[in-house]
Structure 1
Amino acid sequence: MGVKGKLTASIEVECGGHLFHDLYQKNPHQISNISPNNVNHFEIHEGETVKVDSIVSWKYNEDGTNKIVKEVIEAIDLEKKSITWKVIEGDLLELYNSSIITSFEDLWATCTLVYEKKTEDTPEPLVTLGFMINLYKDMEGHFLN
């Protein structure tokens, strides 16, 4: 068993968090158009839309490196406007077993990384959390324009 951890970052978004949740749930393929420097591609592998048990993948650029992540959607809470994504394949799995929880309320966009390091020497996934914050900033810019 590796070291377990949880990192959470929230940023204030003037446009309202509900717009982020709607984008993730209804039009996630548009995120690569909104933030092309961060997200290169989105694909649904199983399921027709973003629903519980759908399997999706993202090609993204994290800290100057092209990466991929494949996730299964474990939970969607419409009241809390949250989606829980469990990582099942890709670059993140080299270092961590992890889940990513995105939640959006009122004027806040929040990302929570729940992870287990594969080794004790593995650094905390701060770069991944930073990637999510940058993505949220691009999304906010899109909605404010």
Structure 2
Amino acid sequence: MGFKGKLIASMEIKCGGHLFHDFYQINAHHVSNISPDKVHHFNIHEGDQDLKVGSIIGWKYNHDGKVKVTKQLIEAVDDEKKLITWKVLEGDTLELYNSFAITASFEENWATWTLVYEKKTEDTPEPITLLSLMIDITRDLESHLHNN
């Protein structure tokens, strides 16, 4: 039996949430250009450039001072609520967690990241530094979207 958890962080953003939502659906491949110290590479394993439910994507990123990889399935997209959910299929995250899902909601002027996970052991740390990474990338994207 695993140990389930949920972490949520919300932050006010200067530009409309629709810009973030559209960015992650259409221009996710540009995250590595906007935040190169955090994200090194993005690729699409299955699906088209315009990401939809069922698309499988991959990221190479910096986390806790190490280069890591993840492969994710886009599980849900709600254009009205500006919400996207990714389920981790493979990668470094699953070394510590039995399951891991990330939901991003970009309603109005708020970005909310929700991590839902099941730790492999009770001693496995909460993924607070991973949530912090998401917040830092959101700040980078906000700066890019607000200035363009």
TM-score higher than 0.5: yes
Q: Match of 1:46?
A: 46
Correspondences of 1:28-47 after superposition (within 5 Å): 28-47=28-47
Q: Is the 8 A contact 1:63 1:131 kept in 2?
A: no
CA distance in 2, matches of 1:139, 1:35: 8
CA distance in 2, matches of 1:72, 1:81: 17
Gaps of 5+ in 1: none
Return structure 1 stretches of 4+ with deviation > 3 angstroms. Answer: none
Correspondences of 1:1-145 after superposition (within 5 Å): 1-48=1-48, 49-96=50-97, 97-145=99-147
Q: Is the 8 A contact 1:111 1:132 kept in 2?
A: yes
Q: Secondary structure at the match of 2:58?
A: strand
| One-letter amino acid of the structure 1 residue matched with residue 4 of structure 2 | K
Q: Is the 8 A contact 1:44 1:54 kept in 2?
A: yes
CA distance in 2, matches of 1:68, 1:31: 15
Could you tell me how far 1:143 is from its partner in structure 2? 1.2
CA distance in 2, matches of 1:51, 1:38: 24
Could you tell me how far 1:113 is from its partner in structure 2? 0.2
- Identity in percent: 63
CA distance in 2, matches of 1:123, 1:7: 12
Q: Encode CA deviations 1:18-77: one digit per residue, 9 max, x unaligned.
A: 111110001110111111111111100001131111100000111321111100011101
| One-letter amino acid of the structure 2 residue matched with residue 101 of structure 1 | T
CA distance in 1, matches of 2:7, 2:88: 16
Gaps of 5+ in 2: none
TM-score by length of 1: 0.97
- Cα-Cα RMSD: 0.7
Q: Secondary structure at the match of 1:105?
A: coil
How many pairs align?
145
CA distance in 2, matches of 1:103, 1:68: 23
